[in-house]
Chain A
Amino acid sequence: RKEVEQDPGPFNVPEGATVAFNCTYSNSASQSFFWYRQDCRKEPKLLMSVYSSGNEDGRFTAQLNRASQYISLLIRDSKLSDSATYLCVVNLYTDKLIFGTGTRLQVFP
Chain B
Amino acid sequence: EAGVAQSPRYKIIEKRQSVAFWCNPISGHATLYWYQQILGQGPKLLIQFQNNGVVDDSQLPKDRFSAERLKGVDSTLKIQPAKLEDSAVYLCASRRPAGTGYTGANEKLFFGSGTQLSVL
On whether the beta carbons of B105 and A31 are closer than 8 Å, the reply is yes
Asked, given contacts A43-B114, A49-B106, A87-B42, whether A95 binds B55 with beta carbons under 8 Å apart, the answer is yes
Chain A residues within 8 Å of chain B by Cβ, number = 24
Asked, given contacts A31-B105, A32-B106, A91-B105, whether A45 binds B95 with beta carbons under 8 Å apart, the answer is no
Chain B residues within 8 Å of chain A by Cβ, number = 26
B-contact bits for A66-109, CB 8 A (1 contact / 0 none): 00000000000000000000010101001111111110000000
Which chain B residues lie closer than 8 Å to A16 at the CB level? none
Which of chain A's residues has its CB closest to B43's CB?
A99
For A44, give its contact among B40, B48, B111 (CB under 8 Å). B111
B79 proximal to A (CB < 8 A): no
- Closest approach, in angstroms, between the C-beta of B54 and any C-beta of chain A? 11
On whether the beta carbons of A95 and B42 are closer than 8 Å, the reply is no
A-contact bits for B32-44, CB 8 A (1 contact / 0 none): 0101000011111
On whether the beta carbons of B91 and A43 are closer than 8 Å, the reply is yes
* Distance of A100 Cα from B44 Cα, bound (Å): 9
On whether the beta carbons of A44 and B105 are closer than 8 Å, the reply is no
For A95, give its contact among B31, B43, B111 (CB under 8 Å). B31
A17 proximal to B (CB < 8 A): no
On whether the beta carbons of B112 and A94 are closer than 8 Å, the reply is no
On whether the beta carbons of B56 and A94 are closer than 8 Å, the reply is yes
Which of chain A's residues has its CB closest to B95's CB?
A95
B113 proximal to A (CB < 8 A): yes
A34 proximal to B (CB < 8 A): yes
* 4 nearest A-B pairs in the assembled complex, by CB-CB distance: A43-B111, A99-B42, A32-B105, A46-B108
A sample of 14 cross-chain residue pairs with beta-carbon separation below 8 angstroms, ordered by A number, consists of A4-B42, A31-B105, A43-B114, A44-B111, A49-B106, A94-B50, A95-B48, A95-B97, A97-B33, A97-B45, A98-B45, A99-B35, A99-B43, A99-B44
Question: Which A residues are closer than 8 A to B by beta carbons?
Answer: 4, 6, 8, 31-32, 34, 36, 43-46, 49, 87, 89, 91, 94-102
